[in-house]
Amino acid sequence: MASKPINFCHLTIYAPSPICIQTVCVGTAASMASLILPGGEITKRLAFPHGRVMIHQPASSFYRVTAYYGIDESNQIQLIRRDVANLYVEITGNFFWKIYKDMHRDTFMSAKDAQAHGIVDMVGCEGIIGKKTQVLH
């Protein structure tokens, strides 16, 4: 069996080919989980109807550092925020300004909102529990 490179968030994973990664949000996908969730194969990104997704900007604790290190850390956080926003743009197809604005504060989304945002493709539980159930579109 040949290996196929999978590129996700500028990280290349070599896995047996053919491979199809399905991501599922069962409860809450927050922080890094909300970035991994849309990394599944297009049309294989699912959220259960009761699932929630939360995106936010990177955080740091500036209160215990000197002024010089605080400025440097602040600059690094801004670079990380830009990079994370660009990853969301690449994965979801949304505009940069929309992602950047949504990341400014904690943005909580229902499964349907996450679908509209491009983080998941489907809301429902078809094929997950072994029975065919309705997928909400």
CATH number at residue 103: 3.90.226.10
**Could you give phi then psi for residue 61, rounded to 5 degrees?**
-115, 95
Q: Are strands 52-55 and 45-47 parallel, antiparallel or unpaired?
A: unpaired
Question: What is the pTM (predicted TM-score) of this model?
Answer: 0.71
Closest CA to 57 of 38, 31, 39, 86: 31
Write out the catalytic residue numbers.
31, 56
Please spell the DSSP secondary structure of 31-52, one letter per residue. THHHHHGGGSPTT-EEE-TT-E
Q: Which pLDDT does position 134 carry in this prediction? A: 53
Structural domains of the chain, count: 1
Alpha carbon distance 51, 46 (integer Å): 10
Closest CA to 30 of 107, 104, 97, 94: 107
Domain that holds residue 55: 3-136
Q: Which pLDDT does position 113 carry in this prediction? A: 95
Q: Which residues contact 58 (CB under 8 A, 6 or more apart)?
A: 77, 80, 81, 84
Cis peptide before 18 (omega within 30 of 0): yes
- Residue ranges of the chain whose pLDDT lies below 50: 1-6
